[in-house]
């Protein structure tokens, strides 16, 4: 069962001295490009830029996709940013997510990097998810999801990655799979937005339709666990074995 591990970064150089809105996007692009790390803006970050030409205001993180084989270079890169914390999430012994928590400054957002692998004509990445015990969008289910996040943080802060297969977490969490055609991910394209020029999936409008359906119209009741067409409710082992 996946669980995060964390490291503190206290001696690195600043990610940015000021964090004007969008500056983190440029830092990610500049540093990843300099190290030859293929990457693309993803999920809500991509949606906001393509639909509104800016980040979604109530979105707490920056979503980035990259390839699993670049994981070591990514970790070396983010270690050079001044952060509060860096987390790595694992499925078994394999990292599939890196979370970077910047210093508390205006407009600073957590950076959420999903590490994809290739299988046939698709890219895939695990996704840690609360077990669906209640009807979608019910208040009970939202409470369970919040509680599950708190439980995961409890085990992380006290015991690190050694409890990644702890029975208590297996009882309340499933593992789903991000699943996208390689034609979107294998050759990210550069697009110009209000904040600058960034890498996005090939044909981002078509990719967003694949993920969200009618992505041009905001939906306040939308849930990525329930509604995202790119999230398969199957463990990766059932799809890539």
Backbone angles phi, psi at 29, to 5 degrees: -60, -50
> What does the pLDDT look like over 29-54, one tens digit per residue?
999 999 999 999 999 999 999 999 99
Domain around 21: 3-124+177-230
* Domain contains 162: no
Q: Rounded to whole angstroms, how far apart are CA atoms 188 and 197?
A: 12
pLDDT at 168: 53
Kindly write down the DSSP assignment for every residue of 5-36, as one continuous string: EEE---SSEES-SS--TTHHHHHHHHHHHHTT
* Domain contains 77: yes
Count of domains observed in the chain: 1
* Domain contains 149: no
160-189 average pLDDT score:
75
> What does the pLDDT look like over 197-227, one tens digit per residue?
999 999 999 999 999 999 998 888 888 888 9
* Domain contains 237: no
* Domain contains 8: yes
Asked if the model's pLDDT at residue 14 lies above 90, the reply is no
- CATH at 56: 3.30.460
* Domain contains 130: no
184 and 203 in contact (C-beta within 8 Å)?
Answer: yes
* Domain contains 202: yes
Q: 176 is written with which tokens?
A: 């789903």
Q: Rounded to whole angstroms, how far apart are CA atoms 171 and 155?
A: 14
* Domain contains 172: no
User: Which of 11-25, 80-94, 128-142, 159-173 has the lowest average pLDDT?
Assistant: 159-173
């Amino acid at each position: 069962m996946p669980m995060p591990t964390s490291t503190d970064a206290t001696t690195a150089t600043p990610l940015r001295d000021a964090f004007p809105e969008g500056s983190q996007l440029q830092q990610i692009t500049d540093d990843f490009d300099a190290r030859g790390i293929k990457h693309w803006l993803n999920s809500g970050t991509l949606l906001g830029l393509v639909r509104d030409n800016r980040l979604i205001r109530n979105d707490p993180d920056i979503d980035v996709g990259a390839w699993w084989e670049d994981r070591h270079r990514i970790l070396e890169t983010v270690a050079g940013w001044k952060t509060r914390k860096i987390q790595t999430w694992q499925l078994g012994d394999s990292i599939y997510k890196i979370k970077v928590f910047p210093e508390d400054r205006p407009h600073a957002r957590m950076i959420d990097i999903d590490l994809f692998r290739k299988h046939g004509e698709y890219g895939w990445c695990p996704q840690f998810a609360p077990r669906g015990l209640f009807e979608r969008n019910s208040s009970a289910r939202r409470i369970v999801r919040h509680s599950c996040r708190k439980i995961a943080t409890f085990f992380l802060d006290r015991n690190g990655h050694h409890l990644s297969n702890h029975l208590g977490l297996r009882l309340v969490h499933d593992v789903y799979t991000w699943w996208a055609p390689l034609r979107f991910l294998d050759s990210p394209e550069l697009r110009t937005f209000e904040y600058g020029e960034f890498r996005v999936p090939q044909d981002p409008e078509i990719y967003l339709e694949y993920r969200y359906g009618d992505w041009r119209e905001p939906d306040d009741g939308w849930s990525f666990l329930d509604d995202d067409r790119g999230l398969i409710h199957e463990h990766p082992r059932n799809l890539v074995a």
